Structure 1
């Protein structure tokens, strides 16, 4: 599937489940929905749900912008600042002094996952996000 085809395939609603494992701390879980909606030549992903950690739950919200080029998917923060480029299974983002490495797995489409590895002096955690078409 080409990046433009992949982007078009994201349009709509996805059930979203995430587990965040902090190296020296608690495990957090997010359950919610991610909705990709058109915004110009991009899709805005709006993620809303509940994050639970240490027995405490609260509402969580995040937005990103996704654009396709002929060879890549470009993911940006909600305000348009670049986040990372998906041009294979792995993507990279430097957020000095921390580093993010993301692994995208599309093999079971329309179920797919993203694994995060975040390391540095401020952050040290692993996360797995699963998406399932609603």
Structure 2
């Protein structure tokens, strides 16, 4: 797939997520991600219901900021403006070190506008795989 611009992500996306712990427990998320334009960047806001491995459900929200980066990449920042990672359709992978825990992501845009991200997280505090599926609403 060629380049994907920030503006192509604008809108509402159905978001489902499975988090597989190395111990075998599975946590799921069901909700939506809304990407809205603001000052030449996008605010990514996801909200929904998390079902923990013990069947308890809780509400969850998360915010990121997406900006145009170098060479057609999209730079992702935490809500507090700390850099998180960069990706593009041509380079659909990234890494982020958080303390001693390493986060590796691979994006798949081959079925655009349906897309997914797969995070492999390993370290002394975390060990899981998280698969997120996005589809336009």
TM-score of the aligned structures, taking structure 1 as reference length: 0.94
Residues 100-120 of structure 1, C-alpha deviation per residue, up to 9 Å, x if partnerless?
000000110000000000000
SS at match of 2:8: helix
Give, in whole Å, the separation in 2 of the partners of 1:79 and 1:37: 17
Residues 29-50 of structure 1, C-alpha deviation per residue, up to 9 Å, x if partnerless?
0000000011211100000000
Counterpart of 1:56?
A: 56
Unmatched tracts of structure 1, length 5 or more: none
Matches within 5 A, 1:1-134: 1-3=2-4, 5=5, 7-53=6-52, 54-69=54-69, 70-87=71-88, 88-134=91-137
Give, in whole Å, the separation in 1 of the partners of 2:41 and 2:75: 9
CA RMSD of the aligned region, Å?
1.1
Instruction: List structure 1 runs of 4+ shifted beyond 2 angstroms.
Output: none
SS at match of 1:107: strand
SS at match of 1:9: helix
Give, in whole Å, the separation in 1 of the partners of 2:61 and 2:128: 19
Give, in whole Å, the separation in 1 of the partners of 2:24 and 2:58: 18
Give, in whole Å, the separation in 2 of the partners of 1:62 and 1:72: 22
Unmatched tracts of structure 2, length 5 or more: none
TM-score of the aligned structures, taking structure 2 as reference length: 0.92
